[in-house]
Amino acid sequence: MSILSGKHILLGITGGIAAYKSAFLVRLLKKAGANVKVVMTPESEHFVTPLTLSTLSENPVVSSFTDEEKNWNNHVELGLWADLMLIAPATANTLSKMAAGNANNLLITTYLSAKCPVYFAPAMDLDMYKHASSKASIDELISFGNKFIQPESGPLASGLSGEGRMAEPENIVNFIEQDILSGLPLSGKTITITAGPTYEAIDPVRFIGNHSSGQMGFELAAQALKLGAAVNLITGPTHFKLQDSLLKRIDVMSAQDMFESAISHFENSDIVIAAAAVSDYKPLKQFDQKLKKSEDALRIDLEPTPDILKHLGTLKTHQTLVGFALETTNEEENAKSKLKKKNLDFIVLNSLNDKDAGFKKETNKIKIITNSEVIRFDTKSKADVAEDILNHILKIMK
């Protein structure tokens, strides 16, 4: 999953030879999960066809104020639709028009209507790029708050070699991703999250476990990634999947596995959220072979598993440490006791007595309990609950 996933990106294409790269750019943006619409200048159609870009973007491509049926292409709607606008390639002519507000084509009027961040990637020959007027246009656009994607050096269409090539599509996408991430509240932070159940083996076939699906932990990881954090996701057995360049997934089976992984990642974490439903006990003896069924009663002696959260609490230095409590009786009292004993910054309480909370539910109803207050929330989707928890973390980190 990319930080661009789900974003509305408006791609402006102008009339330079680098316009052929726009097809690759659209493919990369779509691969990142973005919704892409394309606005072209009429001159750019000499270098790449609207049909190609329409097919790749899965949206109609516009290049004039009216279509063939004389219907109006609304530049204001396009500008307001976009979460970000990217103009690539941006020729010297277009840079000048953008800087001066010379709105004589659909692309420039759309640019002037956009309320979102605007990125521009110049493309022109070496001497054109070095010319004082081009530099002045770029400086003016930067002063307006637009984001400048530096041209690269290499062979140019003129046969010369030097600075002026449009940045490669991969580098443009990476620039935008990194720029967005740098402005997010958890950029540069590392969060370790435990998720799912643990399975404690009885024999090669059977285990002691619980009904946790792991969804709450995965929603927390997804929300942390949206906020720019690098995430270590330590998960027990689950069917949930999550992919992101900032995500490190560590699959574990037992409480001991989870304990060792959590300890190894703790020192380098800024935030740790223990959302896993860890087995409290494990068989004292594990059988190497499958136990055969008999008419006799079977007795299995159990011993405690490591208390992961309590141990992390003893190691805590700079970390924000968050735990979960699933209770059935004396709920707030028990949660407050865990908060203190395990040296937590806060604890998230949910109750099995609430029909909308607990294992294998799409919703949850929580209370955030700190040393000074109890914050109650309505029933929400687990994704929204994850957002509430991360928002509280941001609040106490300020």
Residues 235 and 290 in one domain: yes
Domain region containing 102: 8-182
Contacts of 388 (CB under 8 A, 6+ apart): 366, 368, 377, 380
CA 20 to chain CA centroid, Å, is 30
pLDDT mean over 321-348: 94
Q: What is the pLDDT of residues 152-198, one digit of tens each?
A: 999 888 888 899 999 999 999 999 999 999 999 999 999 999 999 99
Residues 59 and 169 in one domain: yes
Percent of the chain whose pLDDT exceeds 70 = 99
Number of domains in the chain: 2
> In the prediction, which pLDDT does 134 show?
97
Residues 281 and 254 in one domain: yes
CA torsion, ordered 180, 183, 184, 190, to nearest 10 deg: 100
Tell me the DSSP string of 124-143. --HHHHHSHHHHHHHHHHHH
Least confident of 58-67, 159-168, 195-204: 58-67
How many alpha carbons lie under 13 Å from residue 203 in its C-beta half-sphere?
Answer: 10
Within-domain flag for 43: yes
Q: Is the pLDDT of residue 64 over 90?
A: no
Confidence of residue 65 (pLDDT cuts 50, 70, 90): confident
The reported pTM is: 0.85
Please state, in angstroms and rounded to a whole number, the distance separating the CA atoms of residues 117 and 301: 62
Residues 75 and 209 in one domain: no
Nearest to 259 by CA among 279, 287, 243: 279
Q: Which residue has the higher pLDDT, 64 or 391?
A: 391
pLDDT mean over 65-69: 71
Residue 210 annotated as catalytic: yes
For the chain, the average pLDDT equals 94
Q: What is the pLDDT of residues 228-250, one digit of tens each?
A: 999 999 999 999 999 988 999 99
pLDDT mean over 10-14: 98
From 93, 171, 210, 334, the catalytic residue: 210
What tokens appear for 369 in the block?
Answer: 């309990």
> In the prediction, which pLDDT does 221 show?
98
Residues 137 and 253 in one domain: no
> In the prediction, which pLDDT does 351 show?
81
Residues 220 and 136 in one domain: no
pLDDT mean over 276-295: 92
Residues 153 and 198 in one domain: no
The answer to whether residues 164 and 128 touch, using CB atoms and an 8 Å cutoff, is: yes
Residues 199 and 156 in one domain: no
Beta bridge partners of 281: 304
Residues 204 and 165 in one domain: no
Q: Is the pLDDT of residue 70 over 70?
A: no
pLDDT mean over 18-23: 96
